[in-house]
Structure 1
Amino acid sequence: MRDNTASKRDNERGADWYRALVEEVNDLATVVDTDGTIRYVSPAVTRILGYEPDELVGHEGYEFVHPDDRERNAEAVEAVLSNPSEPETVEVRFKDADGSWCWIEATMRNRLDDGLIDGILLSSRDITERKEHENDIRELAEEYEALLDNVEDAIFLVAVEQSDSGVRFEFERLSPSYERQTGITTEEVQGRTPRNVFGEEQGAELEANYHRCVSAGEPISYQEELRVNEEARFWQTKLAPVITGDEITRLIGITRNVTDRVEREQQLRRQNDRLDEFASVISHDLRSPLNVAQGRAALLAEQAESDHLDPLLRALDRIEAIVEDTLTLARQGNTISETEAVSLTDLLGKCWATVDTSNATIEIVDEMMFQGDPGRLRHVFENLFRNAVEHGGPDVTVRVGRHGEQGIYVEDDGPGIPADKRKEVLEPGHSSASDGTGFGLTIVKRIVEAHGWKLSVTDGTEGGARFEITDIESAS
């Protein structure tokens, strides 16, 4: 009698344990018959889907499965019925009590013949967060592929293997743009080191930059020479590390073919060298006799009277102005490599003070900070102010302000410049003033372009001339 009582007590404890296990575990236990009707659902359904068990029992499970997933769900049921010994796992969207769709992963087991559970047992769990994460990753991968396939800059991926013996770099993948620009394909470089692909000398130079990026642990930028072909020799490259855990496992490189630009810069440097030689000749060989002539003419004017002396002095002063403008044009129009933050208001004040502006007025509409070479920019604004006074008269008003997001305008209320003359006034030697050298606005244009900016001429708001300088880099 005691044995039966103990056995019954053990069975009850086992049933209680099993019931507690089913009710408390995060997984949802469901039993359905062969036509999909729900016969049992564990209390976890309330926590997972928001239903009370009675709201689902007696209903066909297909009612709650997303229409796009029902076929996949039915195939899993058919598979588990056909092969009772093998469980099937399926992922479907299931409608919760609020009417929203959540992702459920269900593992099905055929228990029709075990004598304990008459039906198909489903062990389900909510995988909505995981599916959303997978979807985010998939969208990111699609965006990455689209970027890799369509970006004009060449992109390359380099695997980084770090060991006790050092760091090894192997190419993983090249973008289509990289392949088009170099003629090198992913298949040719995949799994190979830079030295294997580009030879010992060039490969060592590439690896030196890769090592520098790994050591820095942050993106680096540099210009490199990689002699792929005649049209692709110089490259502007940005290299960024990919960190997995605490270790750099990959480098992503974005590079742009700048061969044309570098060759233009080299040609420009050669031209500038010749201009410097020319400027030196003017400065030393022409200025010295000019100064002698001016001095002698001034002495002659003190000792004698002649109608020829004033024209002579004016001619010599004009020669001196031409020499000064020629030197400025030769020396200030070079490419500018070093800049600093410039205050527009401070720069304009210094320029206005050094120009003979008579009764002219300046209005500074906006203050702005930008990157430039203040020494050379003084020539720009001094010449623009001088041009406004020469053509607008002694009472002209000059207005300076911001043009768009990255520009400056200088305008006056003078007679303006006819549309068909606006390109011509920027050319060397053009002057409508009787005593002008014709180089003033040319100097403006050359220095503006040396900064990498653009200069255009148009109508002012009050009908005068307006000069617009654009593509200016703001001060950081």
Structure 2
Amino acid sequence: MIGQEGYEFVHPDDRHRNAEAVEAVLSNPSESETVAVRFRHADGSWYWLEATMRNRLDDDIVDGILLSSRDVTERKEYEVETRRLAEEYEALLNNVEDAIFLIDVEGVDDDARFEFERLSPSYERQTGITTEEVRGRTPRDVFGDEEGAELDANYHRCLNAGEPISYQEELWVREDAWIWETKLAPVVSGGEITRLVGITRNVTERVEQERRLRQQNERLDEFASVISHDLRNPLNVAQGRAALLAEQTESEHLEPLVRALDRMGAIVEDTLTLARQGDMISETESISLTDLVGNCWATVDTGEATIEVVDEMSFQGDPDRLRHVFENLFRNAVEHGGSDVTVRVGCHDERGIYVEDDGPGIPADEREAVFEPGHSSARGGTGFGLTIVKRIVEAHGWELSLTEGTDGGARFEFEMGE
């Protein structure tokens, strides 16, 4: 380097800073200047050099500018990485849909004090509360003593746990935003928790919908109980008396009477099944498709109809409820396709099952309607069979579709998903 211009070793983008520092120490000899520039290594790469310059032109020994320098490449790389992470953090904070809030923690354990530091734009939009309104204020300051105390309790719980926690809380900000699902995580600096980061989501609509569903299910249970006891018991008495009457006398009115009572019995049973089969499946077991189909086919009056199991597979499900599915589909195929109909069961794609027949099929414009309660095109049908099928399939978390079969008949497909 002796005899060469020092600027030649400085990165072109940094030379102006280097020149300004030299000019400063020349103009003001009593002050030193520190500058960080990229300096060319002997191998041609660049590394960061921090140099402190002092004017020693009046020193007979030095007679120039004295530089003391050190390699600060790692520090600079850390600063660059820190800025990059800060930019990503800022972008996340400003664009994430969930509401984010930052809490400063002062003190430790039960003496800790929590103050709001910042709210994300999404938090501000969802609550109408701004960072300016809450910065430096405690939960009690912002939300009042009662709700603020509950927030404090959750923040203390996270502080004491020293790890992320999740909980559901009620925090009223407006009529459609008062139930929140929150995840809270501690931030550790220097061995101490100095901040809490919270991500919260407005789940008011979902929770209220779940409450409505529970109320509906309770009413359905009450309805099923009424049908089971108040209707089925008298019906059983009427069917028994009709059977005794048939043994004791002959009348042209007996056969229509028995047929009507049997239809009422079928409607009662289908209604009970419909009321009780819509709940989500909680416990499942491995089911053999061949075994399930064989058992269900044996319980249905199929006449001269033929069953073909094209594929064998095992899957998870509730076998008792799925018996209703396949029995209703087999019964539907025979009622509409005739006593000599052929029914096929097999695998649909990778995670599905199909049941199809070679009967007349169902017109495309009627395929949605057939799943509605009470819809029936068969004489004497209750109209609940396919509704029951749909409810049970959906209770498994599967999807049900109806299309045209291979031979033009009806084809029901269950998509099980993952």
Contact 1:417–1:465 (CA under 8 A) maintained in structure 2: no
RMSD: 3.3
Shift of 1:175: 0.9
Residue 361 of structure 1: aligned partner: 308
Which residue of structure 2 lines up, in the alignment, with residue 325 of structure 1?
Answer: 270
Would you say the 8 A contact 1:352–1:382 is kept in 2? no
Counterpart check, 1:142 vs 2:87: yes
Report if aligned partners of 2:184, 2:197 keep a CA contact under 8 Å in 1. yes
Measured after TM superposition, the shift of residue 413 of structure 1 is 5.3
Does the 8 Å CA contact 2:341/2:357 hold for their aligned counterparts? no
Give the letter for the 1:211 counterpart.
H
The superposition leaves residues 397-428 of structure 1 with CA deviations (integer Å, 9 ceiling, x where unpaired) of 2124565xxx6443435455443222112211
Output the CA distance in 1 between the equivalents of 2:121 and 2:158. Answer: 24
Q: TM-score, with normalisation over the residues of structure 2?
A: 0.84
Partner of 2:36: 91
Q: Which amino acid in structure 2 is aligned with residue 219 of structure 1?
A: P
1:397 pairs with 2:397: no
The Cα shift of 1:165 comes to 5.3
Larger displacement relative to structure 2 (312-321 or 81-90): 312-321
3-state DSSP of counterpart to 1:360: strand
Q: For 2:140 and 2:156, how far apart are their aligned partners in 1?
A: 14
Which protein shows a greater Rg? 1
Match of 2:411 in 1: 465
After TM superposition, give the deviation of residue 468 of structure 1 in Å: 3.9
Matched, 1:289 2:234: yes
Whether 1:345 aligns to 2:287 is yes
Aligned equivalents of 1:365, 1:64: Cα separation in 2: 75
Q: Cα offset for 1:117?
A: 2.8
TM-score by length of 1: 0.75
Q: Say whether 1:153 aligns with 2:95.
A: no
Q: For 1:293 and 1:265, locate their aligned partners in 2 and report how far apart those are by CA, in whole Å.
A: 41
Mapped partners of 2:105, 2:289: distance in 1 = 50
1:64 and 1:384 map into 2 onto residues whose CA distance is 84
Q: 1:215 to 1:130 in 2, by over 3 A?
A: same
Give the CA deviation at 1:384: 4.9
Partners of 1:246 and 1:402 in 2: CA distance: 54
Q: In the alignment, residue 354 of structure 2 is paired with which amino acid?
A: V
Question: C-alpha separation between the residues in 1 aligned to 2:335 and 2:43?
Answer: 79
| Mapping for residues 42-441 of structure 1, pairs under 5 Å | 56-163=1-108, 166-303=111-248, 312-334=257-279, 336=280, 339-340=282-283, 342-343=284-285, 345=287, 349-350=291-292, 353-355=295-297, 356=299, 359-363=306-310, 367=314, 379-380=324-325, 383-384=328-329, 387=332, 395-400=342-347, 408-412=352-356, 414=358, 417-441=362-386
Cα distance 1:367–1:192, how it changes in 2: closer, same or farther (>3 A)?
A: farther
Determine if contact 1:159/1:169 at 8 Å carries over to the other structure. Answer: yes
Give deviations 1:74-125, integer Å, cap 9, x for gaps.
Answer: 2222222222232222222233334333222222223333223343333333
Residues 376 and 159 (structure 1), Cα distance of their counterparts in 2 relative to 1, 3 Å cut = farther
- Looking at structure 1, the residues matched to 357 and 34 of structure 2 have their Cα atoms a distance apart, in angstroms, of 81
| Structure 1 CA distance for aligned equivalents of residues 8 and 258 of structure 2 | 105
Aligned to 1:11: none
CA contact (8 A) 2:292 2:319 kept: no
CA contact (8 A) 1:220 1:239 kept: yes
Q: Secondary structure at the match of 1:58?
A: coil
**Cα 1:364/1:224, change in 2 over 3 Å:** farther
Cα deviation for residue 465 of structure 1 reads: 1.5
Alpha-carbon deviation of 1:166? Answer: 2.5
* Partner Cα separation in structure 1 for residue 334 and residue 51 of structure 2: 85
Measure the CA separation in 1 of the matches of 2:27 and 2:335. 99
Letter in 2 for 1:412: E
Deviations 1:225-271 (A, max 9, x none): 11111121111212222233443322221111112222222333333
Report deviation, 1:449.
4.6
Letter in 1 for 2:84: E
Does the 8 Å contact 2:180/2:201 carry over to 1?
yes
Distance in 2 of aligned mates of 1:360 and 1:261: 44
CA contact (8 A) 1:368 1:402 kept: no
- Give the conservation status (yes or no) of the 8 Å contact 2:110–2:156: no
1:286-338 Cα offsets, whole Å, 9 max, x none, are 1012212222333445555667655544443332222122122223324x4x8
Aligned length: 409
Structure 1 unmatched ranges of 5 or more: 1-55
In structure 1, distance between residues paired with 2:44 and 2:379: 86
Counterparts of 1:382 and 1:74, CA distance in 2 = 90
In structure 1, distance between residues paired with 2:407 and 2:183: 48
